[in-house]
Amino acid sequence: MAARSSDRRAEAVRALTRRLGHDFRDPALLDLALTHASVGEGAERDARGRLFADNQRLEFLGDRVLGLLVADRLMRDYPDADEGEMSSRLHALVDKSACARVAEAVGVGDAMRLSPGEAKQGGRRREGVLGDAMEAILAAAWFDGGIDAARAVFDRTWADELSAPPRKSLTNPKSALQEWALAHAKPLPVYRIVERKGSDHAPTFTVEVSVTGYPPLTAQGRSRQDAEKAAAIGLLQREGVI
């Protein structure tokens, strides 16, 4: 059973590599980008005996790499756009939802290394897990082949997001939901933790948000704050505000 699971993941990694359009000179970098924090505490060793743990440090860099690549692309594609329009487009292209959609499209979930518990809890389809891994992949490409490699992966994988009509994006969805509630003469939104599961180093929060007179909505996140933001966005989207 373990061997079959390993074979399936290896094939998923090969398929992902083809979709990324970048043949990693150092495959361990891609493997690291696909390793979720739930795999285990402490360092592990790759096939060459080098120490690594999970993709969190790569995700940290990848977030900045993505921002740079998007800003550069927008400067080229929209020479007449003002700073406000550029900022709005940038936020829509770099937010976790966009990263997760890209990751889903190229098959990141099936290629990830997760703990059995995280996999059972749906980690391969979870927005935060996928979005972080996609950012980590950009960083891995950056380390493997420099900015040109990272840009090639970005141009290929973000093509649909770049060609889609601009999505409305919010830098502070909780404030937006609060303003919407007040504008409708409603009390402030109420957030409630419905569930907390997972290990201490990789928890998942489920939060419910409610506004008087409207059905409540639940969403998940890697922290309480992330879950509350996701719930606020979900409610605003459901009510047609964004």
pLDDT single digits (tens) 152-170: 999 999 999 999 876 655 6
Confidence class of residue 50 from pLDDT cuts 50, 70 and 90? very low
Confidence class of residue 197 from pLDDT cuts 50, 70 and 90? confident
One of 135, 144, 226, 228 is an active-site residue; which one? 135
pLDDT of residue 77: 93
- Is 135 among the residues known to form the active site? yes
Tokens linked to 17:
């590599």
Tokens linked to 162:
């770049």
Question: Which residues, 6+ apart, have CB-to-CB distance to 214 below 8 Å?
Answer: 186, 235, 239
CATH second-level architecture of 173-238? 2-Layer Sandwich (3.30)
Location of each CATH 3.30.160.20 domain in the chain: 173-238
Question: Is residue 241 scored above 60 in pLDDT?
Answer: yes
Calculate what percentage of the chain has a pLDDT beyond 70: 90
CATH second-level architecture of 2-163? Orthogonal Bundle (1.10)
Phi and psi at residue 193, in whole multiples of 5°?
Answer: -75, 120
Question: Is residue 52 scored above 90 in pLDDT?
Answer: no
What mean pLDDT do residues 70-99 have? 86
Higher pLDDT, 138 or 229: 138
Tokens linked to 27:
């495959």
Q: CA–CA separation, 172 vs 125, rounded Å?
A: 24
Location of each CATH 1.10.1520.10 domain in the chain: 2-163
What mean pLDDT do residues 59-77 have? 95
One of 59, 63, 118, 228 is an active-site residue; which one? 63
Kindly state the DSSP code that residue 25 receives in the 8-state scheme: S
pLDDT of residue 62: 96
Confidence class of residue 176 from pLDDT cuts 50, 70 and 90? confident
pTM over 0.75: no
